Chains A and B, each alone.
Chain A
Amino acid sequence: MEPTEAELIAAVLKGETAKFEPLVAKYSPRVFATARRYARRDSEVEDIAQEVWTKAFQKLASYRGEAPFEHWLMRLAVRTCYDFLRAHQRNREKSFSELSDAEGDWLERCVRQPETVEEDADAARQLINRVLEQLSPAARMVITLLEIEDKSVKEIAKLTGWSVPLVKVRAFRARAEMRKILLKIAKEKYL
């Protein structure tokens, strides 16, 4: 019979480091999927995942077992991703002057015939990724969690450690920031 998560965690806390491996193997897919929302390069994604697991190991004593381990780990993962975004804030793209042909075409069709535009087109994905990369770390985090992952304000507050009013304020500002960027694209393309 395989040991439960609680037994594995208790063993790790007693000094049996090897018992941490099944937890890493089980939850790494979730950690990687979360990291890939915020980082594009494989090396960056792996760095984030490694950071998450290092923190999880170091802070394991602070896990009280009241909520599932996965929730605790996801909080750690989201906060690590936010730290990553803040650390790489200066590397954000500053201009949309290099829109690819496919992105330009998709944007043009979206303007002229919005009903015919496919939302699952590669160009649309590339474009939204570019827009997200231009957002500030807090705005990107809140747009990703609220709009893309469809989480509630309360869930975001728990994940990020921000208060509920702060999440609401940041969501409002993030939408405004995103619209400003979209207007900038429109101006660069059509003016």
Chain B
Amino acid sequence: MNVVDLEKKLIQAARQDRPSDKVPYAFEKRIMAFLRPLPTPDCWGLWAGALWRATVPCLTVMLLLTVWCVIPGANPAPASNLSQEMDNTVLAAIDQEQASELPE
């Protein structure tokens, strides 16, 4: 077998076999869709969305707390006046010092 002749014939066959230049339908549209940059995330939009979604849970918590405060007996009354409690706490150290200085 003459390999050179065979090679020439096969190359001739390949030359005559021109590949098709057919392009699939709407190929350029597909490429453009692929190349279009992804939308950048809108930070303010995300923040506003999160706030809007938090509205209902916040209102619910607020209503529950209001109900809890309003219903009598649900919230036990403080033992004494708040301002008096505050004074006692702040002045507790002084009271202790005075008590220790008193003669027995």
A residues with a Cβ closer than 8 A to B are: 17-18, 20-21, 24-25, 28-30, 32-34, 36-37, 42, 46, 49-50, 53-54, 57, 107, 110-111, 114, 117, 119-121, 124-125, 127-129, 131-132, 143, 147-148, 150, 175, 178-179, 182-183, 186, 190
A181–B17 Cα gap in the complex (Å)? Answer: 21
CB of B37 closer than 8 Å to a CB of A: yes
B residues with a Cβ closer than 8 A to A are: 1-7, 9-24, 27-32, 34-37
> Contact: A148 with B35, CB < 8 Å?
no
A54–B6 Cα gap in the complex (Å)? Answer: 40
The B contact surface, by secondary structure, is helix
Contact of A119 among B12, B18, B32 (CB under 8 A): B12
> Contact: B20 with A17, CB < 8 Å?
no
Contact of B28 among A25, A119, A148, A183 (CB under 8 A): A25
The A contact surface, by secondary structure, is helix
- A114 — which chain B residues lie within 8 A by C-beta? 2, 5, 9
> Contact: A128 with B32, CB < 8 Å?
no
> Contact: B14 with A57, CB < 8 Å?
no
